[in-house]
Amino acid sequence: MTQTQTTTASQAALRYAELSKDLSLEQSDINEQQNSGIAVQAKFITPLDPVIETADGNRLPAVPLEEAYKINALKEKAEGASSGSETEIESDETHLLRKRDKESASQDRNLDISLPPLRTHPLFPPLPLYGPPTLLRNAQCLFFQITSFYLSTGFLLVIVLGAVFTSIPGIISKTWLWFTFRDPDKKRPFYKEEQRRAAVRAEEDAKWLRKARKLKKQKQADSRSTEPSPDPQTEYEPLEGGPDKLLCDSRYYARRVGLEMETFKVQAEDGFIIDLWHIYDPTEYTPKPSDRRKERGPDVFKNPLPRRNTSSKTRYPVLLIHGLLQSAGAYCCNDDDSLAFYLHKSGYDVWLGNNRCGFNPQHTLLKPSDPRMWAWNIRQMGVMDLPAFISRVLSETSCSKLGLVAHSQGTTETFVALAKQQRPDLGEKISVFCALAPAVYAGPLIGKMYFKFMRVISPAMFRIFFGIHAFIPLMMTMHRILPGRMYGLMGYLVFSFLFNWSDERWDRGLRDRAFQFAPVYVSSESMRWWLGRECFAKHKCVLSTREQHSQEDREDLNEELEEKRAKSEERDESQSRSRSRDKGRTAWYDERAPPMALWVAGSDDLVDGKRLLRRFRRGREPHVNLVHSKVIDEYEHLDVLWAMDSIEKVGKEVKEVIWKTMDKRDKERCRAVQGVSEGTDTG
């Protein structure tokens, strides 16, 4: 054999040591002495998602497949060297190819047809590999920080100016109406209801202030409180009140409707620490001490808590996942019409998952200044974060399944995670997946000029413009320093300009609250996945390439024509169907997929939910049980959460669908949900 085909075990040990150093947290001798952050081996969360395990039991984020296979191959040889074996063994390149072929053989080939060697699905190209801090790497990071600060600030300024200029005609029109003694808001869909709610809020605020002054006087007089009893028509007594302080604090808004909230720390399998919020009724639940709400290590679905022995029935757990650039506070900003509070008061145990980094980036080993902390995209959120959330909720509630509700990007990470090439076993932990404004196919908005700019520039140029850390962190700086109402107005104008939605159906008196919870820190790599030239913006789908779904469109069109021809010729339609190919061959999901329900916003320009619904209805996902689907023609992307009638059109149906799809044993063990009729059809 040639030298490139074989290597001795002792040489492999040296190469293993070098590669381990390149993949470790740091390269200093001090860390080696402390056995801290030293790369030991790669652990495959899925066959295409490796992370690095360190000697101290921690994890470092994903690495390219080549590096993962190589360190494991060299580790095997190094262990052979330590056992005294000096025999010639296959080279790590040969081992790498054999390992890859074995993994590829176990994969479904539908998503692997066009894969180049050692690459993930073409929609998920490899992330950049950043090694431990060195002088050169630190210099590169500084370069990207400087260029991205100026260039991304300029980009943001253009967006802000565009938002301001496009709003001028509307401002002029409203001003003219006021000068001519006409109310510009009178044409809003819920004008009278909006006024009624504003009056009720003002009355409740005044009542709370009077009550607070009375209690203060009583306290000063050292007399016993004689505060009035709660309104008999109100089950939950508010714990906070008065005029809205516009805080970035979901617990504050939970207290305003008589509920409480506690925060759990959850560790993902690649070492990220993410926030999980739990809503509870303080009259029936005692919050966990802080030491029981800490992270428990990277392993998921292991060592569940023992089932609680209680005479009373428990609440069925429901996990809510938010959308892009938002936090879970998006579910908590509309008082009792907030989906999170509504589901809790209906009888569910509601948990809110926040994506990695969020308002406070945390990792077991990495600091926010380390570019490795930002080397992730939608794939890691689905494959790592979602299982970590589900595992912790099931462990805390001692349940075997939960209901999952997601909006926008939250649906994307779920659809990605459940795919048969990713973590399909996750579907066995979910009783139903409720997708609100599902983000699987791109809408027409992807063709806007500012989005095209991100798609035109190369990946290298994208990193020069937007850096290799957080995406436009100046947005978070403005979030901290601007007054709540000013920031709420600017946030609405900018996001309305970017994503082409309006507040026509929202309660405008609460609009500023929503933008206290957005934006949050996201990685530039994540935004590059959404908008860069290689991934979603190019293929316009999260799980099919552009060529694949174009072919599916042609096949669907041919089938529709064949069906019409069969009807016109009075032939049996089943004959034309029997001649059509098996659509299931390109299915994304297998029999482990949970039941699914879709609520599609019909006027949504950001994503095309109707196309996803058509995919299900045309039989392309034979293993998916679509238990409920609804297109709300007048709704825009965020109306499924914030429209004044969203509880009526979405929330009540979500409540119903979750109950209908629960396992019979869970229905017997869990508390009954208010307002659910057993005979309702969810199909």
Q: Which amino acid is at 666?
A: D
**Known active-site residue 408:** yes
Question: Rounded to whole angstroms, how far apart are CA atoms 177 and 393?
Answer: 52
pLDDT of residue 346: 96
pLDDT of residue 553: 82
Same domain, 107 and 161: no
Residue 510 scores a pLDDT above 90: yes
Would residue 70 count as lying in a domain? yes
Would residue 203 count as lying in a domain? no
Same domain, 477 and 440: yes
SS3 299: coil
Interval 74-93 mean pLDDT: 59
- Choosing from 349, 604, 639, 666, which is the catalytic residue? 604
Residue 257 scores a pLDDT above 50: yes
Same domain, 379 and 499: yes
- Choosing from 637, 639, 646, 666, which is the catalytic residue? 637
Choose the weakest-confidence range: 12-16, 105-109, 288-292, 497-501. 105-109
Is residue 519 reached through a cis peptide bond, with omega within 30 degrees of 0 on the bond before it?
yes
Q: How far is CA 419 from the centre of its chain?
A: 16
Q: Which of the two residues, 214 and 118, has the higher pLDDT score?
A: 214
Same domain, 158 and 94: no
Question: Rounded to whole angstroms, how far apart are CA atoms 184 and 172?
Answer: 11
DSSP string, 141-190: HHHHHHHHHHHHHHHHHHHHHHHHHHHHHHHHHHHHHHHTT--TTTTSTT
Same domain, 462 and 439: yes
Question: Rounded to whole angstroms, how far apart are CA atoms 371 and 381?
Answer: 17
pLDDT of residue 557: 82
CA 612 → CA 221, 413, 431, 558, 655, distances in Å?
65, 15, 21, 19, 22
Q: Which amino acid is at 23?
A: L
Residues 347-372: tens digit of each pLDDT: 999 999 999 999 999 999 999 999 99
Question: Rounded to whole angstroms, how far apart are CA atoms 82 and 404?
Answer: 49
pLDDT of residue 213: 83
Residues 461-499: tens digit of each pLDDT: 999 999 999 999 999 999 999 999 999 999 999 999 999
Six-digit token string for 290: 């802080």
Residue 338 scores a pLDDT above 90: yes
Residue 98 scores a pLDDT above 70: no
pLDDT of residue 31: 46
Backbone angles phi, psi at 141, to 5 degrees: -60, -40
Q: How deeply is 234 buried, as exposed, middle or buried, from its count of CB atoms within 10 A (0-12, 13-18, 19+)?
A: exposed
Residue 102 scores a pLDDT above 80: no
pLDDT of residue 63: 87
pLDDT of residue 226: 44
Residue pair 17/40 in contact by the 8 Å Cβ criterion: no
Same domain, 39 and 179: no
What is the β-pairing status of strands 88-90 and 59-60?
A: unpaired
- Mean pLDDT score of the chain: 86
Would residue 360 count as lying in a domain? yes
pLDDT of residue 616: 95
Same domain, 443 and 562: no
Task: Report the percentage of the chain scoring pLDDT > 90.
Answer: 62
SS3 642: helix
DSSP letter, residue 371: G
pLDDT of residue 35: 62
Question: Rounded to whole angstroms, how far apart are CA atoms 156 and 153?
Answer: 5
Interval 45-69 mean pLDDT: 90
pLDDT of residue 574: 54
Would residue 210 count as lying in a domain? no
Six-digit token string for 163: 């938002």
Q: Which CATH number do you get for residue 642?
A: 3.40.50.1820
- Name the domain boundary from 67, 102, 120: 120
Interval 380-392 mean pLDDT: 97
Q: What angle do CA 188, 190, 193 make, to 5 degrees?
A: 135
Same domain, 148 and 25: no
Same domain, 111 and 255: no
Task: Report the percentage of the chain scoring pLDDT > 70.
Answer: 85
Would residue 32 count as lying in a domain? yes
pTM of the model: 0.90
Most confident of 133-147, 551-565, 666-680: 133-147
Would residue 264 count as lying in a domain? yes
Q: Which amino acid is at 107?
A: Q
- Name the domain boundary from 533, 554, 582: 582
Choose the weakest-confidence range: 7-11, 111-115, 169-173, 436-440. 111-115
Interval 654-675 mean pLDDT: 93
Q: How far is CA 370 from the centre of its chain?
A: 23
Residues, the chain: 683
pLDDT of residue 673: 93
pLDDT of residue 310: 55
Residue 94 scores a pLDDT above 80: no
- Name the domain boundary from 531, 556, 582: 582
pLDDT of residue 106: 45
Residues 149-198: tens digit of each pLDDT: 999 999 999 999 999 999 999 889 888 888 888 888 888 999 999 999 99
Residues 608-649: tens digit of each pLDDT: 999 999 999 988 999 999 999 999 999 999 999 999 999 999
Would residue 206 count as lying in a domain? no
| Structural domain total, the chain | 3
DSSP string, 425-467: GGGGGEEEEEEES--SBB-GGGGSHHHHHHHHS-HHHHHHHH-
Residue 365 C-beta-side C-alpha neighbours within 13 Å: 29
Same domain, 436 and 562: no
What is the β-pairing status of strands 596-601 and 402-407?
A: unpaired
At 409, is the pLDDT very low, low, confident or very high (cuts 50, 70, 90)?
A: very high
Same domain, 562 and 442: no
- The boundaries of the domain holding residue 551 are 546-582
DSSP letter, residue 405: E
Same domain, 562 and 621: no
Residues 222-234: tens digit of each pLDDT: 544 444 444 434 5
Would residue 222 count as lying in a domain? no
Residue pair 621/591 in contact by the 8 Å Cβ criterion: no
CB count within 10 Å of CB 281 equals: 15
Return the closest-CA partner of residue 253 out of 318, 320, 334.
Answer: 334
